[in-house]
A and B are shown apart, each in its own frame.
Chain A
Amino acid sequence: SAVISQKPSRDICQRGTSLTIQCQVDSQVTMMFWYRQQPGQSLTLIATANQGSEATYESGFVIDKFPISRPNLTFSTLTVSNMSPEDSSIYLCSVLTGVFYEQYFGPGTRLTVT
């Protein structure tokens, strides 16, 4: 397994501003993922972040709105840019372990945009 931390755990932001969410894992991993989850709903994949390459975004998500950095094998950031109330959600990072293709999730960042 992997131990994953996220910062901040929650934040309340004003519309038009940006927030950067950090994801730290306790071991080196090749693949990291960023998801969005509305409370009580399922998860939607935003993008896949591989170290040393550009992030791969899912349909409906663009780099200008959700820029991602992956500077090394244990860390990634997701920025939610020019926020609107529709961006209010829980943002989760996850990592893929290579042996059994298992994904482990961070505790999430609860974002409220006012």
Chain B
Amino acid sequence: AQTVTQSQPEMSVQEAETVTLSCTYDTSENNYYLFWYKQPPSRQMILVIRQEAYKQQNATENRFSVNFQKAAKSFSLKISDSQLGDTAMYFCAFMIGANSKLTFGKGITLSVRP
């Protein structure tokens, strides 16, 4: 079975600073996709970034980037120049090939302090 582990339940960061959210996963598959989703308080789940397992290059979307370590089965999210609007719950998720089912981690609550 595939599992996604987010071991940090909460983190806090000062505005304009950089923060890294950790995620590890476990699978025996070779073809899979990894995602980070953001869920602001009482608001909609938003896709932040996607990484294909076959790509060695780490994905980047503006202030968001990932550190994908396939051998270590690690997929961390780095948020640069943190903004107050980044305050949210962040979920790491995993999908095997065309299976299309997302397996989510427990999530981490990120608070950005002014």
Contact = CB atoms under 8 A, between A and B. Distances in A.
24 contacts: A1-B47, A41-B107, A42-B91, A42-B106, A42-B107, A43-B45, A43-B91, A43-B102, A43-B104, A48-B100, A48-B101, A92-B45, A96-B100, A101-B95, A101-B98, A101-B100, A102-B35, A102-B47, A103-B47, A103-B95, A103-B100, A103-B102, A105-B44, A108-B44
A109 to B, nearest CB: 12
A96 B80 CA distance: 29
Interface of A: 1, 31, 33, 40-43, 45, 48, 92, 94, 96, 100-108
Identify which of A1, A101, A104, A106 gathers the most chain B CB atoms within 10 Å of its CB: A101
B50 interface: yes
A96 B35 CA distance: 13
A105 B43 CA distance: 11
Contacts of B95: 101, 103
Contacts, number: 49
A102 B50 contact: yes
Interface of B: 33, 35, 37, 43-47, 50, 89, 91, 95, 98, 100-102, 104-107, 109
Given A33-B102, A105-B45, A106-B44, 12 more contacts: A40-B89, A41-B106, A42-B104, A42-B106, A48-B101, A94-B102, A101-B50, A102-B35, A103-B35, A107-B43, A108-B44, A108-B45
A26 to B, nearest CB: 14
Interface of chain A: mostly helix, strand, loop or mixed: strand
Nearest to B47: A102
- 9 closest Cβ pairs, A-B complex: A105-B45, A107-B44, A42-B104, A42-B106, A43-B104, A101-B33, A96-B100, A42-B107, A31-B100
A92 B35 CA distance: 18
Nearest to A44: B104
B33 to A, nearest CB: 5
A107 B102 CA distance: 17
B92 to A, nearest CB: 10
Contacts of A41: 106-107
